[in-house]
Structure 1
Amino acid sequence: MTRRKKKRVTKKQKEKRVKLISAGIILLLVFSMGLFLGENKQADLTLSEKIGLFKEELLTFFNTEEDVDQTKNQETTIRFLDANQGSATLIQAKDGTTILIDSGRYEDKDKKIIQQLDQYVGTGGKIDLLIFTHNDSDHIGYGDLIMNYYDVEEVWMNGTDATSKIYERLLNAVDKSNASYTEPKNGEDYQVGPFQIEVLSPNEQSENDQNDDSIITKITINQVSGLYSGDASQSIEKAIVESGIDITADYILMGHHGSDTSTSDEWIEASQPKFAIFSAGENNSYGHPGEEAIDRLKKQSIPIYGTIENGTITTTIHEDGTYSIKTEKGDNLVEDDA
């Protein structure tokens, strides 16, 4: 199995490069004409000062987006979507910033993930960041349709190739889209709207294993953090813990659908979650969630919510850093407050 080039260039990135180059040429011509014809308003400035002014003008020309206070607390809704034996998490801030982590399982003939996104994002709505933790079919599911149906601004993938037709369809959709493309690595930090995202894995020394190459992130808003670990195994969890990085979190999405091979004692002790979630399908052939993994959490008296029993699990993070949890399936509606 080979690794793709670290950087893919999508149509949107090409357009940005062309815009930057064009802006640079135009401003350089204007600056040069003003400099040599003596018409520059800053004629008394030194050459270095004029160069600095030119750089500021270039950045101003290229960055036309309105400044946003990214540190402001705002109510946020996190939906751990009922994706049967798949995984999909939709995160939405009050200002509209939207992050989708994974896109469910391909075998869902009802395309439930599309119905859910239509409901919560709106048909053709904007998704600021779409993270495919890895390229297994129960995580990239209908990713190609999401790329085609919605306005996706940026896509993250782990860079490890797969051989499935589902993966090929997704790559084609990404390449044809207007989305930017990134392969994040451990140690990198990102700001997406009001969300702070720390990348915990994978690293440059990847073993080309889909599960262990999962993009693992810690996402924080309003001082409330969550860990999303894809299908990474306990060996990856151990490496992250031993690296000394702070992974304390208010909640965790259990690795590999709650499998016994993930959510180790070390991971639980280091993250100290107040609750945990797993995404799995009823009567699945994999035995998810695993009894051992569930017992490890129960020993720490950590509440567990699962899509099998609870359907879609909705966590609302309030501006003051408290949160509430609503689970909806069957006759019960549960609400907890931190």
Structure 2
Amino acid sequence: MTRRPLCMLCLILMLSMCATDWAGIPLIRGNPLPENAVSWIEEHPQATLCGEVIQTTENEFSQSVYLSNAYLIYQSQKLSIENVKVFLKQREEVPAGTVILVSGKLKRVEEKRNPGEFDSQQYYASQHIYYLLNNAEIIEKSENYSAYRQGISQLREYLAGVLGKIAGKEAGIFQAIVLGDKTSLDKEVKLRYQMAGIVHILAISGLHISVIGTGLYQLLMKTGLGIWGSGFLALLFMLQYGVMTGGSVSTMRAVCMFLISTGAKITGRIYDLPTALAVSAMMILGESGAYLYNSGFLLSFSAVAGAGIVVPAFTRTLEKGKEGRTGKLCTALAASAAIQLTMLPVSLYFFGEISLIGIFLNLIVLPTVGVVLGSGVLGMILGCVNLKIGSLMIFPGKILAGFYEKLCMMAGNLPFGTWIAGQPEIWQIVAYYAVLASAVLLLTYRKKKSSTSDKEKDKVQEKNIAGNLRVRKYLSLFLICTALFLISWRKTESFSITCLDVGQGDGIVVRTPEGNCFLVDGGSTNKSGTGQYQILPYLKNQGISRVDGILVSHTDKDHISGVEEILELTAQKLNSVEIGCLYLPNWKTPPEEWEKLSQLAKEAGISVKQVKEGDCLKAGKLEMQIVAPLENASGINVNEDGMVLQVKYGEFTGLLTGDMGEETEQKLLEMGDLEDVDFLKVGHHGSHYSTSQQFLDKIKPEYAIISCSSTNTYGHPAPEIVERLEKAGCKVGFTMKSGAVTVSWQKGKIRLKGYLGNYI
């Protein structure tokens, strides 16, 4: 590294950025806007602001506009709020570069509220966006706009249309690969690619820039333009290509490295990958420091670092093995594994899982994806002239795209295709990379040969070198195994019940130290994709690869919408978390939603069982006693006939009440089925129709959680219920205030902790 001073300088700068963030200086995270602007927005969310349109996106549901250099008018002053994403109430033509005056309701971009959930606040902060303007109306707009940016946008839209016509059902894949446009990409296809570990080919990356940029450079060289002319034109074109394809972080990284590579050719300098990688990272971070915690940024750079630094160390060592050469297949497999090893901590930190089958599938996909990209580009260009010629040119890529889909479907059917290890701690990531770096240094270590000309001594030295290489190979393998152990180690968890923040709904995860896990309800009425975006990410984040059972208290949407998603994904082989059984309340006349859940479970190959009062589910030390539904429950009133669970683990007792109201509470009191509990999941989201004083006097909970949304229109939780709980000496946690709330029990101690704060 001493021979790479620029690389070292960039690394030091990045470490300094991390250090300032850890010290609490808000350069990377947090809201950097002036305090007076933040305070004014909180007091006046209905606001009018002005800004320049930089991009417009549309889907079948809405139109959104990205504004740059946006500002508010406050006390005759312009308060800058940097960039803003505006969701328009009605569709309107707003070309890029137009300055608009728009009115709507400003809302701070929400922080993630559950472990494993996508961090939209950090994602938008990378684009200097800290507020969203919802339900907006354009009051006034300028007649002038940017002909260049609007032209780029229209060109992208036109080319996407051409690909749509010539690529048929694979249009979404080609639009993603060639133009970076994923709006038409089928959700199911994207999930299949993710599970197969080849989703990276759908993003504009170094492969795309290399194929297109290098191809263009060589073509221009053949025209006699020379190094300077060819390099300059290739750079200019690739910069425009990066802008047209959306300017994602992987695209920016690839374009920056292509710029440095081409610059080295033009000036006659040697291209050094570590230096180019570090300089590219600082160029991106200089534009927005928030990228330092961006998953796309870290995955892109770790993949290139693996390909450029770790892969050569692995492959060179294999080629110098005992047999002299190991074969192309073994070398390629080692290269694929080396990249995955480099990306492993980043993947686990953000997603909690990694595709194992992807190591093998990339051996097939990476050598052929250039054909898909090349045929897509040529087909698109020729399609602008003649659609039939374009269709003919893109045909080889369509065949390969269809083949990739078959590979993905095959990967989804494999039982051990994905490894769910959970999110590692920061110290584990640091230790992992330190040990992996030691293994790479050991493999790349080269001892200088003796200068003596004695042939006998040279032979002895060669034998010693071969022996040392063998020792270093085994020692490196041991270090890699040690690194894998470090990153996969998880401390023994205490028994816990976690109420996820799913908005207006319920989603409860019960876990034991022995590894048993149950999901009780899972749904929301004000959040879509609860199963995919809150429940499954949480399970993967915690390293939970199997849920022993899903228990549904009743069939209101705010309790089952996420469960339905999970069952549908499982049936489509798009869920890597194994589901053991679905437990439904035993009702005489179950509603349509009950039947739908049962059918979905059967399609997914999941057994379905009906439970009623008196039944007991056991898993190791965990006992889940069914307190309701009562015998002969009809299921007509799903709230009052819902499932109620008494959870016991060791000396801990909890009560999960679904949406049970005072009517069922009274019945249970009369039957004498209730006892003192340590924890209560408050019924019906804290509604004043539940949790009666008589009920509380009987169960005497010490801790309670209310799951509800801060924006609900039902008045949940009712103030009198909160007051009643507090007067009973109960410590109460709220998902609307603390995000996911967990009650844990270990060695007789109970703790209540919110994800967004400390212990409650």
Match of 1:294 among 708, 712, 722: 722
- Does residue 254 (structure 1) correspond to residue 673 (structure 2)? The answer is no
Q: Which residue of 2 aligns with 1:154?
A: 581
CA shift in 2, pair 1:187/1:118, >3 Å: closer
CA distance in 1, matches of 2:501, 2:531: 8
1:224 aligns with 2:652: yes
- The match for 1:178 among 595, 605, 627 is 605
1:168, distance to aligned residue in structure 2 (A)? 5.5
Instruction: Summarize the alignment of residues 272-291 of structure 1 with structure 2, pairs less than 5 Å apart.
Output: 272-291=700-719
Q: Which amino acid aligns with 1:96?
A: G
TM-score (norm 2): 0.32
Match for residue 556 of structure 2 among 110, 118, 136: 136
Q: What is the aligned partner in structure 2 of residue 187 from structure 1?
A: 614
Residue matched to 1:117: 535
> Is residue 503–residue 525 contact of structure 2 (8 Å, CA) maintained in 1?
no
Matches of 2:734 and 2:744 in 1, distance apart?
17
- Structure 1, residues 208-231: CA drift from partner, whole Å, max 9, x if none? 210011100100112111101111
Go from structure 1 to structure 2 and tell me whether the alpha carbon gap of 1:140 and 1:258 turns closer, same or farther (over 3 Å shift).
same
Letter in 2 for 1:100: L
Query: Which of these residues, 70, 92, 116, is aligned with residue 511 of structure 2?
Result: 92
Are 2:585 and 2:642, in contact at CA under 8 Å, matched by a contact in 1? Answer: yes
C-alpha change, 1:193 and 1:180, in structure 2 (3 Å) is farther
Q: Structure 1, residues 181-233: CA drift from partner, whole Å, max 9, x if none?
A: 22111122221232111111112221421001110010011211110111111
Structure 2 letter corresponding to 1:214 = G
Which deviates more from structure 2 when the two are superposed, residues 113-122 or residues 304-313? 113-122
Counterpart in 1 of 2:735? 307
Partner of 2:116: none
Where structure 1 has 5 or more consecutive residues not aligned to the other structure, the ranges are 1-72
User: Which structure has more RCO (C-alpha within 8 Å, separation ≥ 6)?
Assistant: 1
| Cα separation, 1, equivalents of 2:625 and 2:504 | 27
Structure 1 segments (4+ residues) deviating >6 Å: none
Q: Residue 212 of structure 1 is aligned with which of 636, 640, 655? A: 640
Letter of the 2:615 counterpart: E
CA distance in 2, matches of 1:199, 1:262: 19
- Deviation for aligned residue 1:112: 4.0
User: What is the RMSD of the two structures over their aligned residues, measured on CA atoms?
Assistant: 2.1
Aligned partner of residue 518 in structure 2, secondary structure: strand
Deviation at 1:287, TM superposition (A): 0.8
Cα distance, 1:143 vs. partner?
1.2
- The 5 A counterparts of 1:36-115 are 75-105=494-524, 107-109=526-528, 111-115=529-533
SS in 2 for 1:157: strand
Structure 1 pair 324/298, CA: closer, same or farther in 2 (3 Å)?
A: closer
Structure number with bigger Rg: 2
CA distance in 2, matches of 1:162, 1:107: 22
Q: Which runs of 5+ in 2 are unaligned?
A: 1-491
Q: 1-side partners of 2:718 and 2:610: how far apart?
A: 30
* Separation in 2, partners of 1:118, 1:130: 13
- Distance 1:163-1:246 versus aligned 2 partners, 3 A rule: closer
Considering fraction of residues, name the structure with more strand: 1
Equivalents in 2 of 1:84, 1:117: separation in Å?
Answer: 12
Length-normalised TM-score, structure 1: 0.71
Q: Please give the alpha-carbon distance, in whole angstroms, between the structure 1 residues aligned to 2:531 and 2:743.
A: 18
Q: Tell me how many residue pairs correspond in the alignment.
A: 257
Tell me how far 1:74 sits from its aligned partner: 7.5
The 8 Å contact of residues 79 and 90 in structure 1, kept in 2 or not, is answered as yes
Measure, in 1, the Cα distance between the counterparts of 2:606 and 2:675.
Answer: 29
Percent of pairs with identical residues: 24
Q: Residue 715 of structure 2: SS of its match in structure 1?
A: coil
In structure 2, distance between residues paired with 1:122 and 1:74 = 15
Structure with the largest fraction of helix: 2
Distance 1:202 1:112 in 2: 26
Q: CA deviation at 1:86?
A: 0.5
Structure 1 segment 312-327 matched on structure 2, within 5 A:
312-318=740-746, 320-327=747-754
Query: Which whole-Å CA distance do the structure 1 matches of 2:723 and 2:557 have between them?
Result: 28
